[in-house]
Amino acid sequence: MELQEILSRCDHTLLRVDATAAEIRALCDQGVRYGCASVCIPPCHVAGAKKYVGDRLKICTVIGFPNGYNSSAVKAFEAAEAIRAGADEVDMVINLAMVKDGCWADVAEDIHAVREASRGKILKVIIECCLLTEEEKVKLCRIVSDSGADYIKTSTGFSTGGATREDVALLRANCDDHVLVKAAGGISSIQDAEDFINLGADRLGTSRIVKLAMKMENEEA
């Protein structure tokens, strides 16, 4: 697989809590240069990043991140505010307490609230696979498929584990065709990226692939 094809599927990500505006601008520069799908950044940086890149690059941000236990109304407001500030895509975290309590209708309503607030934009639903049983993952595939969301996403990258090959394959097998899969967390090599894509991931949440591309360029120079 060509490196550029992999890069075109990357949400080039910087979600560190102390990320500076200068670091976000550098991330945007890299995202544009390497043809990434988007940059994924904290909500507080969306307006500045959108002003900086204009239409050269999609801006993605996170909602209810990383814990997901905000109220649905707060998540919906956060999504609407991010879009008003210039976000093209939003990645929301589900309410994992509702999942563990088996309150599936409430989980669906939580996603629906953000879907309604983000109509016309890409919505990715982070289910945090590392905290779920296989049965819960399969159930969430059905809920996300019925929600109107565009993607199901494996992980925040801030919990006990990131994307695994097994989880990407499971999500792809159990979601409807119109729901795409985003693998995130722990994607540390070109081989990882290629494997996840081959298993059914349409997007990759990572910063390391661009860093590897930069390293390869420097070695060739």
Backbone angles phi and psi of 23, in degrees to 5: -65, -40
- Say if CB 39 and CB 49 are below 8 A apart: yes
pLDDT for residue 220 is more than 90 = no
pTM beyond 0.95: the answer is: yes
pLDDT for residue 221 is more than 90 = no
Name the CA radius of gyration of the chain, rounded: 16
- Say if CB 161 and CB 197 are below 8 A apart: no
Element (H, E) at 125: strand 122-126
Q: What is the pLDDT of residues 31-83, one digit of tens each?
A: 999 999 999 999 999 999 999 999 999 999 999 999 999 999 999 999 999 99
Identity (one letter) of the amino acid at 70?
N
End-to-end CA distance of the chain: 22
Q: What is the pLDDT of residues 113-157, one digit of tens each?
A: 999 999 999 999 999 999 999 999 999 999 999 999 999 999 999
Active site residues per annotation: 91, 153, 182
CA–CA gap between residue 26 and residue 191 (Å, rounded): 25
Domains belonging to the chain, first-starting first, are 3-220 (3.20.20.70)
